[in-house]
């Protein structure tokens, strides 16, 4: 079982010898259709595509952020449409830094699925190793996935605000680019900077 990170050689062996599902999560916040286009042009053999806006986030509301958590049952149906059940090993990847792939890794963990790993270095590492690329658009028979959201893995905006007001920060980590964290550049949000007390790794 791979539950955190998997390397290129390990994934190659896994694809050849075991049952698994690879998910391509490439996405560009500034060009939201580019990841799907890149998937169609070439991806790791057997991979399905997950779009950040359409598959890995719920509808935006006046009270939500840019990528709110998806509705549990809607997301479960999406998982099932990719042919993923509770026992299948899943490997997720993006361009290489793991930012988007880690979201799907976390979402599956949130629903109780442990056998999910991020490809170290993403498709960039896969290509650098000279591995095969496919342009076959994958389709799989729907499966049954029994998932239940773990509420303890989520902090609400109200909880974060209250902890800051009380001087007891929750140990927030801002995973964005350091320049956005520092407020030096902000191509998307109306206000630059970060949540008070957040660290940037």
Residue at token pair 């007001």 = 165
| Residue 129 pLDDT | 98
CA distance 162 to 69: 21
Q: How does strand 173-174 pair with strand 5-6?
A: unpaired
How would you write the pLDDT of the chain (201 residues) with one tens digit per residue? Answer: 899 999 999 999 999 988 899 999 999 988 999 999 999 999 999 999 999 999 999 988 887 888 899 999 999 999 999 999 999 999 999 999 999 999 999 999 999 999 999 999 999 999 999 999 999 998 899 999 998 999 999 988 888 889 888 887 678 888 888 999 999 999 888 889 998 888 998
pLDDT of residue 150: 95
φ, ψ for residue 175, nearest 5 deg: -90, 10
Give the pLDDT confidence score for residue 157 in this predicted structure: 85
Task: List, in sequence order, every residue forming a beta bridge with 5; answer none if it has no partner.
Answer: 118
Instruction: Enter the pTM of the model.
Output: 0.91
**Contact criterion met (CB below 8 Å) for 12 and 125:** no
Query: 176 to each of 31, 145, 173, 179, how far by Cα in Å?
Result: 17, 31, 9, 8
Which tokens sit at 162?
């209250």
CA angle 20, 37, 189 (to 5 degrees): 100
pLDDT at 188: 83
Structure confidence at residue 62 (pLDDT): 81
Q: Which two three-digit tokens encode residue 27?
A: 């996405």
pLDDT of residue 156: 85
Give residue 155's pLDDT: 87
């Amino acid at each position: 079982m791979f539950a955190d990170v998997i390397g290129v050689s390990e994934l190659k062996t896994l694809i050849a010898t075991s049952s698994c599902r690879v998910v391509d999560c490439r996405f560009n916040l500034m060009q939201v259709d580019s990841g799907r286009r890149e998937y169609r042009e070439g991806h790791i053999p057997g991979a399905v595509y997950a779009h950040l806006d359409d598959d890995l986030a719920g509808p935006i509301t006046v009270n939500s952020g840019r990528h709110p958590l998806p509705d549990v049952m809607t997301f479960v149906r999406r998982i099932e449409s990719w042919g993923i059940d509770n026992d299948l090993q899943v490997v997720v990847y993006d361009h290489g830094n793991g930012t988007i792939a880690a979201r799907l890794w976390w979402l599956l963990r949130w629903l109780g699925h442990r056998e999910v790993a991020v490809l170290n270095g993403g498709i960039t590492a896969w290509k650098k190793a000279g591995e095969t690329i496919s342009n076959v658009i994958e389709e799989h028979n729907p499966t049954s996935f029994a998932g239940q959201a773990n509420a303890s893995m989520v902090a609400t905006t109200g909880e974060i605000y209250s902890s800051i007001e009380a001087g007891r920060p929750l140990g927030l980590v801002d995973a964005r680019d350091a320049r956005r964290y520092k407020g030096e550049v902000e191509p998307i949000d109306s206000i630059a900077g970060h949540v008070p007390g957040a660290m940037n790794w």
